[in-house]
Structure 1
Amino acid sequence: MFGYPIETVYLFTLVISGSLTFLYILLSDVLDGIFDAFDHPLLSPQLFLSFFTVLSATGYLLERYTAAASYFIGLISAGVALIVVLLLHFFVFVPLRSAESSLNYAQEDLEGCKAKVIITVPADGFGEILIQRASGAISKPAKSLKNEEIPLEAEVIVVSMENGVAVVAKRDPYYIS
């Protein structure tokens, strides 16, 4: 192919696709903005680069260590690459994409949450609360709704969020929720 043995073509493709993959890892934030027009998950650059890397690596190894026909090796390599890329997509990239979006929260999402006071909230000042969520714990500055002191370790409810500060009220211990 192109005047070179097919083994050499596979090796050059492996080196080029491996180098491009490394560059993509380094510049992924910038390149994601460029490739954002192609927002289909199966058309992502990391899947194309993975496909060519696995295809060329499998092709090179099979050409080097087996006596099978080149067209048969090409088909096997393409099949292996397709399977690996699909596994990568469904078991790595899709869960990462959904996990990335599930860690974000809006300030309004915290309203109505139960929290624990970790720094006493004075009557006319600010303390700090800790909100336990499925994605982790969030600490926020807090002030009292009724301008009353709320002691350390008390359970509170976030009534509202005002400029990143939680307005909290003491949680009624007799109310079951």
Structure 2
Amino acid sequence: MTLFGMPIETIYLILLIVSGSLTILYLFFGDVLEGLGEATGFLSPILILAFITFFSAGGYILELLTSLNSFLIMAIAAITAFLLDIILNVFVLVPMSSAEQSLSYTEKSLEGRIGKVIISIPEKGFGEVVIESYSGMISKPAASFEDMEIPEGSEVLVIEVKDGVLHVMPYKKNFT
């Protein structure tokens, strides 16, 4: 079958190359178009590009390997692409969108947290404090907020963070 004066296989191949390239570009620069996915509802750009990629790949392969009618091949490729798109959305995109954004932390988020001194903090010097986090243990240099010695093994409260150094004071569970 020919379409626009070209064999249908060539059209499938061009569609596959263009949609595959656009998908890769969207993966790298997708943050620029992030609002577009919100405006269109369930039809995100990645789903549309994935549908075109699946459709063109299926059509190209079926045209090369079978002697079925081109309209039947188009229908089979469209149904298969639709099913693969649903699977992609349900099992990959929806779980990723509800996942935690990041396991990283900011220095500001450490303020108010409780840590444990692993290297004692001298009066006007630096020691080291470890804080438990979702992503593991965070070890940071620390100084005493009130310029007092804090022994190793003490629990401390992070008051502020300046230039990557935690300024801490001894933590007492009951402030009475």
TM-score, shorter chain, exceeding 0.5: yes
Q: What's the offset of the Cα at 1:161?
A: 2.2
- Identical pairs, percent: 44
Structure 2: how far apart are the matches of 1:36 and 1:24? 10
Unaligned runs of 5+ residues in structure 1 are: none
1:75-118 CA deviation, whole Å, 9 max, x = no partner?
A: 22222222323333343334444446242445454344332334
Cα drift, residue 52 of structure 1: 1.4
Q: How do 1:101-120 and structure 2 match up within 5 A?
A: 101-120=101-120
2:9 to 4, 7, 10: 7
Letter in 2 for 1:18: G
Residue 126 of structure 1 pairs with residue 122 of structure 2:
no
Tell me the amino acid that sits aligned with residue 63 of structure 2: E
Amino acid at match of 2:8: I
Aligned residues: 169
Aligned residues of 1:102 and 1:135 also touching (Cα < 8 A): no
The offset of 1:134, in angstroms, is 1.4
Moved more, 62-71 or 50-59: 62-71
After superposition, the Cα gap between the structure-2 partners of 1:137 and 1:123, relative to the gap in structure 1 and judged at 3 Å, is: same
Query: CA separation in 2, counterparts of 1:16 and 1:156?
Result: 58
The answer on whether the counterparts of 1:108 and 1:160 sit within 8 Å (CA) in structure 2 is no
Shift of 1:56: 0.7
Instruction: Output the TM-score relative to the length of structure 2.
Output: 0.73
Letter of the structure 2 residue corresponding to residue 87 of structure 1: I
What is the deviation of 1:21? 2.8
Report the counterpart of residue 155 of structure 2 in structure 1.
156
- Please, which runs of 5 or more residues in structure 2 have no aligned partner? none
In 1, Cα distance between equivalents of 2:86 and 2:105: 30
Change (3 A) 1:67 1:44: same
State the 4+ residue runs in structure 1 displaced beyond 6 angstroms: none
Check whether the contact 2:114–2:158 (CA below 8 A) recurs between aligned residues: no
After superposition, the CA RMSD in angstroms is 3.0
The one-letter code matched in structure 2 to 1:36 is E
- In structure 2, the residue corresponding to 1:85 is in which secondary structure? helix
